[in-house]
Amino acid sequence: MQTKFLFLLLGSCLLGKPVAVAQQKPNIVLIYADDLGYGDISCNGATKVRTPNIDQIAKEGLQFTNAHASSSTCTPSRYSLLTGSYAWRKTGTGIAPGDAALLIPTDRVTLPGILQRAGYKTGVVGKWHLGLGPKGGPDWNGDIKPGPREIGFTYSFLLPATGDRVPCVYVENQRIVGLDPTDPIQVSYKGPIGNEPTGKDHPELLKMKYSHGHDQTIINGVSRIGYMSGGKSARWVDEEMADVLTGKVNQFIETSKGRPFFVYFSTHDIHVPRLPNSRFLGKSGMGPRGDAILQLDWCVGEVMKTLDRLGLKENTMVIVSSDNGPVVDDGYQDQAVEKLNGHKPAGPLRGGKYSAFDAGTRVPFIVRWPGKVKPGKSDALVSQVDLAASFATLVGQPLAKGEAADSFNTLDTFLGQAKKGREYVIEHAINGTLSLIRGNWKYIEPSNGPTLNTDTNIETGYLPKPQLYDLKADLGETKNLAEKYPQIVAELATLLQTVRDKQDTK
Ligand code: NG6
Ligand code: CA
């Protein structure tokens, strides 16, 4: 076999022809929006705001109507996406503070690591929110590691945590971008540091006021979660962020030509603080939240243009999704509530970000791969936790037993070749409540807590007794049928327990 290959190689060299490369592996562009709800895009029914670029991808690709993030908040969804293992198996994987240590163990099989093994150049651009550095947090003024590189990303350009958490600086590979060593940066989540004004003490300095939380250090006229001082030359300008990130994604794609690449474009939009570029201000008529949706759509369009320009469209799989469901007031007075204008961020679903109801995790999910994925819609049950094992299959890197153990290979479903998806999907709410969907049924385990979060005005889905909904007849989860069908409740509770009891291995 090897000798034959050598002959072929020799032959083609002698003839002066380039060596034929075996089937070129597809590039993968994963656009992961932040807090984008099922109903926030026009191809999922939004009419008050339009997303033509995302709609175009949907038109050319396969649009899933029953696709789920693993959790209804960011950090655990991303943890599961990148490891193929449910975050709730590991403590400390809830919403991470901005000075958290790297949450993903560096000896774990990861989605980017699998692709790297298959010869991909891998990059992450945008929101990270999975911690950086060793136990105790990173050395912000030195080499910030371990981080993306240690878990399989060749390149990274990050917001370390979220837009509303300090430090408000970009980290490229292992260094803060533009940091002046004579003005070192300090970060604290314990108490004020340096003498920077806070939103709490100096509301008169704010260009956007907070509604709950977010009253600590003021950066760029917006008070954040956490305290920081120094690093003045390195601070980001929120209004430029979408342009900066999109530019980095495009640069990554341009410099990857000739080699398969994977880019995880983790957009800041449409998370708070919503400070879109002035090009988008007032354009949606829905205030900054709507304008941020327009900005997100623009980012998507720019990346698609790059693929077109470089002739990469055909051999690139593009996925557009979100890390969790929507929230309207997430802590800033940005008129999102007042200007909603009848828009339904969750579409027909109940709940939202943080909650156990379906809007928490059922998110937009579109796969486009021209010639390989037939355009259309799919109501197959799919989960983002399965991308790791599915990509492993796609690039011929089979996983060993126990690796990415919660991730199932559902590549055929993602490619539209199978109508059926997973047998069941697990959803995870912020208080740890788990739910399970199988077929038409959704079971939410009993849990304690308020039924309404009064800050965000989101229904949590928590009840001290079991809940059972027939999603086919009642997608909005309005009729709890648990008492009517105790047998189904028992079956789903047992299945959930079996999954919960599974060992978390590498
Ligand atoms: C919450 C923040 C919210 C947002 C969220 C994380 C407050 C009051 N609320 O604690 O604004 O930052 O964390 O969002 O601080 S996520 O999309 O990254 O999960
Ligand atoms: Ca999020």
Q: Is the peptide bond before 270 cis (omega within 30 degrees of 0)?
A: yes
Residue labelled with tokens 């980017």? 112
CB 251 within 8 A of CB 21: no
Structural domain contains residue 45: yes
CA 157 – CA 174 distance, rounded (Å): 9
Ligand nearest to the CA of 324: 2
Nearest CA to ligand 1 atom 16: 74
SS (H, E, C) 326-348: CCCCCCECCCCCCCCCCCCCCCC
Q: Could you tell me if 470 and 386 lie in one domain?
A: no
Nearest CA to ligand 1 atom 17: 74
Most informative mutation of 78, 103, 162, 328 for ligand 1 (most atoms within 8 A of CB): 162
Q: Could you tell me if 246 and 345 lie in one domain?
A: yes
Q: Which of 174, 208, 229 is the last residue of a domain?
A: 229
CA 380 – CA 71 distance, rounded (Å): 19
**What domain range is 483 assigned to?**
425-501
Nearest CA to ligand 1 atom 7: 213
Nearest CA to ligand 1 atom 5: 95
Nearest CA to ligand 1 atom 12: 164
pLDDT at 505 over 70: no
CA of 9 to the centre of ligand 2 (A): 49
Q: Is the CB of 118 under 6 A from ligand 1?
A: no
CA 363 – CA 385 distance, rounded (Å): 13
Structural domain contains residue 9: no
CA of 360 to the centre of ligand 2 (A): 10
Q: Could you tell me if 28 and 165 lie in one domain?
A: yes
Structural domain contains residue 218: yes
Nearest CA to 348 out of 263, 432, 465, 473 is that of 473
CA 328 – CA 80 distance, rounded (Å): 25
CA atoms within 13 A on the CB side of 388: 30
Structural domain contains residue 3: no
Residues with CB under 5 A from ligand 2 (ion): 34-35, 74, 323-324
Q: State which amino acid sits at residue 293.
A: I
Structural domain contains residue 29: yes
Q: Could you tell me if 237 and 270 lie in one domain?
A: yes
Q: Could you tell me if 446 and 303 lie in one domain?
A: no
Q: Could you tell me if 178 and 118 lie in one domain?
A: yes
pLDDT tens-digit series, residues 465-478? 999 999 999 999 99
Q: Could you tell me if 106 and 181 lie in one domain?
A: yes
CA 305 – CA 376 distance, rounded (Å): 22
Q: Could you tell me if 124 and 39 lie in one domain?
A: yes
CA of 73 to the centre of ligand 2 (A): 5
Q: Is the CB of 334 under 6 A from ligand 1?
A: no
CA of 330 to the centre of ligand 1 (A): 7
Question: How does DSSP classify residue 148?
Answer: G
Q: What pLDDT is stored for residue 313 in this prediction?
A: 97
Q: Is the CB of 34 under 6 A from ligand 1?
A: yes
Structural domain contains residue 1: no
Domain count for the chain, please give it: 3
Residue labelled with tokens 């993968």? 28
Q: Could you tell me if 164 and 306 lie in one domain?
A: yes
What CATH number should be reported for the domain holding residue 455? Answer: 3.30.1120.10
Q: Is the CB of 211 under 6 A from ligand 1?
A: no
Q: What pLDDT is stored for residue 2 in this prediction?
A: 40
- Residue 39 phi/psi, 5-degree rounding, is -95, 10
Q: Which of 363, 395, 414 is the last residue of a domain?
A: 414
pLDDT tens-digit series, residues 401-460? 999 999 999 999 999 999 999 999 999 999 999 999 999 999 999 999 999 999 999 999
Q: Which of 372, 391, 414 is the last residue of a domain?
A: 414
pLDDT tens-digit series, residues 153-186? 999 999 999 999 999 999 999 999 999 999 999 9
CB 162 within 8 A of CB 271: yes
Provide the CA 300 distance to its chain's centre, in angstroms: 14
CB 213 within 8 A of CB 331: yes
Ligand nearest to the CA of 33: 2
Q: What pLDDT is stored for residue 504 in this prediction?
A: 74
pLDDT tens-digit series, residues 350-394? 999 999 999 999 999 999 999 999 999 999 999 999 999 999 999
Q: Could you tell me if 220 and 239 lie in one domain?
A: no
Q: Is the CB of 96 under 6 A from ligand 1?
A: no
CA 67 – CA 35 distance, rounded (Å): 15
CA 213 – CA 162 distance, rounded (Å): 14
Structural domain contains residue 443: yes
Most informative mutation of 330, 354, 363, 454 for ligand 1 (most atoms within 8 A of CB): 330
Q: Is the CB of 330 under 6 A from ligand 1?
A: yes
Q: Is the CB of 95 under 6 A from ligand 1?
A: yes
Q: Could you tell me if 83 and 180 lie in one domain?
A: yes
Structural domain contains residue 146: yes
- For 9, residues 6+ apart whose C-beta sits below 8 A from its C-beta are 19
Question: How does DSSP classify residue 102?
Answer: P
Locate all alpha helices (DSSP H) within 274-324, ordered by sequence. 287-309
